[in-house]
Structure 1
Amino acid sequence: MKFPFFASFIVFCLWLTYEIHKSRRKEEQSADAFWERESEANRTRRKPLDDLSYITIPFDTLPMDTMKDDPEIADCHDTLHSLSEGPIVNLTGISNTDLKLMYGAPNIGLLTQYDQRYTVLARTLQKLAALLYQGGCIKDAEAILTFAVSTRTDVSASYRLLASIYKELGTPEKINDLIPVAEGLNSPMAPHIVSYLKDAADGHMPE
């Protein structure tokens, strides 16, 4: 009885060794492919940035006069005006390697700045909308969040608050319009946001 067990053990060890080696080969191949691609990206020459989706803050249509004397809201306004002085581009979900391949390695510094400005924009819009909502200015908060969603923000709180506003304003059907936007986000947050919005559209408002 011992021999079959011993033979099975040997077979298992051989199989395990094979699987470990196979896994290592895949990891090595993946690493080689990554560094080869990164090397190609670093050799890519500067390209025009004309086709980037630059974001313009529409101050003329946003509720910039509402609660403008509130210090926190005034601070948000100052941040937005400061951001408007430079290029803003949403590059969420695009790796530096891909950016260098698309626009050239010499542009990576500029592109990083553009994306960082967008990150600040998305967070500032969410903060401003929340402050307006807390102050009872629901329609104004809706306007801020509508703009935020148009920039393809992946700040989940913005979608949650906008869905709540739609419910309060008696227009819950508008939540369905947010779902395809969320589904198209190039962000790890997309599935979570989509799931929340589908639940909200079905009449549930999960935490």
Structure 2
Amino acid sequence: MLIVIGILLFFYLLIQYSNIRTKQIIQKEKETFWNKEYQANSTRKSDISGLDYITIPMDTLPFTDTDEGELNEIQSNIKSLFQKPILNLAGLSNTDLKLKYGVANIKFLIKCDDNYTFLVKNLSRWGSYLYDHNRWNEAVTVLEFGVQCKTDISKNYILLAELYKELNTQDKIDDLIQTAQTLDTLSRENILISLKEIKMSFYLK
């Protein structure tokens, strides 16, 4: 009986210690966050004119006059971004942005990042549409621009790799893999696995 009580007491104390330790860790994380946030909100505005803004190549993307609703919508969405500032700020939180570029720039930078997200989503849609309508070379042009923008949309990479395979330019899949390895995103590993599977399937066919 004493042994059972001793065991129960041991586990009780262990659980209590674990709870205390967890609370201490959470409290420390909160303090770290708010200290960082305070510092970020005190950071002075810096020059952001030299950042790597994305320019949409209107003369090389395959825009066409069309009455087809979906295609017209996609093209209009991308054209609407032509003169807007676009930045890929993946991997940076709002606090990180304020620390790096100053609190006065945060609204502008968030808008730049929103424009980027809107761009890469529509590039992926456009590439998929062109692929589905057997306009493969045009699809490649669109999807390659998405990769150039460092999109983290898996479909953009996978569909482009499939096109390289179909067009017998599978050597370009290696370039895709190299680009995917530089991504700072949760989808990075899944993209790499898919690309390597597509590359391997070419040699097995």
Pairwise TM-score range, normalised by the shorter structure: over 0.9
Q: Are 2:25 and 1:26 equivalent residues in the alignment?
A: yes
Paired residue type of 2:156:
S
Which residue in the other structure is 2:194 paired with?
A: 196
Paired residue type of 2:119:
L
Structure 2 Cα separation of the partners of residues 139 and 78 of structure 1: 21
Structure 1 Cα separation of the partners of residues 34 and 43 of structure 2: 14
* Paired residues for 1:37-116 under 5 Å: 37-65=36-64, 68-116=66-114
Which residue in the other structure is 1:186 paired with?
A: 184
Structure 2 Cα separation of the partners of residues 118 and 128 of structure 1: 15
Q: Are 2:159 and 1:174 equivalent residues in the alignment?
A: no
RMSD over aligned Cα atoms: 1.4
Residues 20-40 of structure 1, C-alpha deviations (whole Å, 9 max, x = no match): 111110110011100110111
Structure 2 Cα separation of the partners of residues 4 and 76 of structure 1: 72
Paired residue type of 1:142:
V
Residues 150-171 of structure 1, C-alpha deviations (whole Å, 9 max, x = no match): 0000111111110110111112
Deviation at 1:196, TM superposition (A): 1.2
Paired residue type of 2:35:
E
SS across alignment from 1:203: helix
Residues 131-159 of structure 1, C-alpha deviations (whole Å, 9 max, x = no match): 11111110110010001000000111111
Paired residue type of 1:170:
N
* Paired residues for 1:111-130 under 5 Å: 111-130=109-128
Deviation at 1:191, TM superposition (A): 1.6
Deviation at 1:174, TM superposition (A): 1.8
Structure 2 Cα separation of the partners of residues 68 and 144 of structure 1: 17
- Percent of paired sites with the same residue: 37
Paired residue type of 1:23:
T
Structure 2 Cα separation of the partners of residues 97 and 108 of structure 1: 9
Aligned residues: 202
Which residue in the other structure is 1:139 paired with?
A: 137
Unaligned runs of 5+ in 2: none
TM-score normalized with structure 1 length: 0.92
SS across alignment from 1:172: coil
Deviation at 1:178, TM superposition (A): 1.0
Residues 80-131 of structure 1, C-alpha deviations (whole Å, 9 max, x = no match): 2210111111112210000000110111100010000011100111111111
Paired residue type of 1:86:
K
Which residue in the other structure is 1:10 paired with?
A: 9
Structure 1 Cα separation of the partners of residues 104 and 168 of structure 2: 50
Deviation at 1:6, TM superposition (A): 1.2
Runs of 4+ in 1 over 6 A off after TM superposition: none
Paired residue type of 2:24:
R
Structure 1 Cα separation of the partners of residues 49 and 149 of structure 2: 18
Deviation at 1:69, TM superposition (A): 4.5
